[in-house]
């Protein structure tokens, strides 16, 4: 299933993965999110919700591409924050690999097993960056 993409009222982007998540879907969603430098500069945070992902079909090369695209975006918007929620072990491991491949400058990025601590961290971090 494709990645759902929503713009929040507070300057965030919510990406929600559903069912079987592929690398191509993740890359397409990321490219749409980072469509222009102006769009990138307007993003306060990205929240990647992977709680409904049943299986991932993402290669290591695709994870590297995702991390590279994020790193390039952070060069344009160094204040962007990324938070991910991944309760399943395999999905959590994939997100940690994504986090490990981020290049400098790396965004402020945390991964969580459930939504509540993620939202608390995101809220506190956004307050600190205000």
Q: Where are the domains of the chain?
A: 4-129
Q: What is the pLDDT of residue 45?
A: 96
Q: How far apart are CA 98 and CA 27, in angstroms?
A: 12
3 — pLDDT class (breaks 50, 70, 90): confident
> Which CATH number is 4-129 given?
3.30.750.24
**CB of 66 closer than 8 Å to CB of 97:** no
Mean per-residue pLDDT, 5-20: 93
Mean pLDDT, all residues of the chain: 93
- Per the CB < 8 A criterion, the answer to whether 53 and 88 are in contact is yes
Instruction: Specify the pTM.
Output: 0.93
Q: What is the pLDDT of residues 42-68, one digit of tens each?
A: 999 999 999 999 999 999 999 999 999
Residues 77 and 45: beta-carbon distance below 8 Å: no
Q: What is the pLDDT of residue 106?
A: 72
Mean pLDDT over 103-126 rounds to 92
* Residue percentage of the chain with pLDDT more than 90: 88
């Amino acid at each position: 299933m494709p990645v759902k993409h929503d713009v929040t009222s507070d300057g965030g982007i919510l990406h929600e993965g559903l069912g079987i998540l592929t690398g191509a879907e993740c890359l397409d969603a990321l490219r749409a999110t980072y469509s222009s430098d102006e769009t990138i500069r307007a993003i306060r945070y990205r929240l990647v919700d992977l709680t409904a992902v049943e299986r991932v079909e993402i290669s290591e090369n695709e994870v590297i591409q995702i991390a590279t695209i994020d790193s390039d975006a952070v060069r344009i918007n160094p204040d962007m924050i990324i938070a991910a929620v991944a309760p399943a072990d395999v999905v959590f491991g994939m997100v940690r690999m994504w986090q490990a491949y981020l290049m400098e400058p790396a965004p402020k990025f945390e991964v969580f097993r459930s939504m509540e601590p993620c939202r608390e961290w995101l809220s506190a971090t956004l307050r600190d960056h205000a």
